[in-house]
């Protein structure tokens, strides 16, 4: 792992023994660098090796936050903007954060040889129990984007007791239909791999405007040394199976669905919302967020995430600066409430703080 050394000023309040000053300063500097960049691991699983980055000392009383990125990205490019956002630090300091990279997608990954059989989406999801066992995590809160949202959905359906909550951004739980298959075949003839992936990541408005963010990702993907690995992950996602989610075959935990109002997977997210338990599902449709709200709207997504975690019984005393205090002025948020049903998970007597805000089935349409 390579880290960029930064100049850090350290004030020592207690006197040091002779010869200890440099050693203590080095240890403190190393600890701060690890806190910022995380500790990296290679975890052997039945279907291959996963690259995992862990932030935090490990709070065993709370679930870890486990993220999984989208196609054409790795954990850094997908989540760094969100998890390094200033207001997110209140969450980060209270939970262990675990970023999982799909096989061969991390920066510096070895290139797979020709003919390599890449793991299916089902197999990638089957790697995650090994990650939990490796770090001794009893439960997690999953945060997935696109392909990562599908993988975490599959993992949750197979391991319901291991997941306390899910945040699914741009999720599509359906297999590709014939129209999608035909469109992809045509796209293979007319578009390069980077352009195909950009169409998956960005809205038509962003593609037409050729935004700076889009240009950055086009260059990053086009010049990626592991482009062969990216293509294998892309093909694996395109070959995904239908998860067959219905009201009687759904997630057992609270779920927050997030999608931009012009995102490529807006319709898929709306359809997924219609199949989930309305008493434990929140649907956040973000205006002007494009295809990647975790990058374009980190502030609003952070506030929604805090609210979601509060509804699960954690961080009850957290200051909700936007969603709870200014739902109409700051965010122009509108809530569609179905009665006054609360989530099944409530704040235990051992947690600090007062009552949780009500968290019935709701749709939040957030505009800038």
Beta bridge pairs of residue 166: 142, 255
CA 70 vs. chain centroid, Å, equals 9
Half-sphere exposure in the Cβ direction for 163 (13 Å, CA)? 28
pLDDT per position as a tens digit, 216-268: 999 999 999 999 999 999 999 999 999 999 888 899 999 999 999 889 999 99
Report the distance separating Cα 109 and Cα 111, nearest Å.
6
Domain boundaries, the chain: 37-313
Average pLDDT, the chain: 80
CATH code, 37-313:
3.40.50.1820
Quote the pLDDT of residue 21: 52
Return left, alpha or beta for 115; rule: phi > 0 is left, psi -120 to 50 is alpha, else beta: left
Residues of the chain above pLDDT 70, percent: 71
Report the distance separating Cα 153 and Cα 243, nearest Å.
8
Work out the pLDDT band at 179, boundaries 50, 70, 90.
low
Please check the confidence at residue 212 and state whether its pLDDT lies above 90. yes
294 DSSP 8-state letter: H
- Do the Cβ atoms of 340 and 358 come closer than 8 Å? yes
Report the distance separating Cα 38 and Cα 34, nearest Å.
5
Report the distance separating Cα 364 and Cα 357, nearest Å.
15
Report the distance separating Cα 96 and Cα 211, nearest Å.
34
């Amino acid at each position: 792992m390579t880290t960029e050394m930064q100049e850090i000023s350290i004030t020592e309040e207690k006197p040091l023994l002779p010869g200890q000053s440099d050693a203590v300063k080095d240890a403190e500097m190393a600890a701060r660098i690890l806190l910022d960049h995380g500790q990296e691991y290679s975890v052997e699983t039945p279907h291959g090796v996963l690259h995992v980055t862990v932030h935090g000392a490990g709070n065993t009383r709370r679930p870890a936050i486990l993220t999984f990125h989208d196609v054409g990205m790795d954990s850094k490019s997908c989540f760094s903007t969100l998890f390094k956002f200033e207001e997110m630090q209140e969450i980060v300091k209270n939970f262990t954060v675990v970023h999982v990279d799909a096989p061969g997608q991390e920066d510096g990954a070895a290139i797979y040889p020709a003919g390599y059989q890449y793991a299916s989406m089902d197999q990638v999801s089957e790697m995650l129990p090994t990650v939990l066992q490796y770090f001794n995590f009893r439960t997690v809160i999953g945060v997935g984007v696109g392909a990562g949202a599908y993988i975490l959905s599959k993992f949750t359906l197979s391991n319901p007791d291991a997941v306390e909550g899910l945040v699914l951004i741009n999720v599509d739980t359906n297999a590709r239909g014939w129209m999608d298959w035909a469109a992809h075949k045509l796209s293979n003839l007319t578009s390069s791999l980077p352009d195909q992936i950009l169409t998956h990541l960005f809205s038509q408005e962003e593609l037409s405007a050729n935004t700076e963010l889009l240009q950055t990702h086009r260059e990053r993907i086009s010049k990626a040394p592991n482009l062969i690995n990216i293509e294998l992950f892309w093909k694996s996602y395109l070959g995904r199976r239908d998860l067959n989610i219905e009201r009687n075959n759904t997630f057992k935990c609270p779920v927050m669905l997030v999608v931009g109002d012009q995102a490529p997977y807006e319709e898929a997210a709306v359809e997924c919302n219609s199949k989930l338990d309305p008493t434990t599902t929140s649907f956040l449709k973000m205006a002007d967020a494009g295809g990647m709200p975790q990058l374009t709207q980190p502030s609003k997504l952070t506030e929604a995430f805090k609210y979601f975690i509060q509804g699960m019984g954690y961080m009850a005393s957290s200051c909700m600066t936007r969603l709870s205090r200014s739902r109409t002025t700051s965010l122009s948020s509108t809530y569609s409430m179905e009665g006054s049903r609360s989530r099944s998970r409530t704040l235990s007597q051992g947690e600090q703080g007062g009552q949780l805000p009500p968290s019935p089935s709701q749709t939040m349409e957030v505009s800038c």
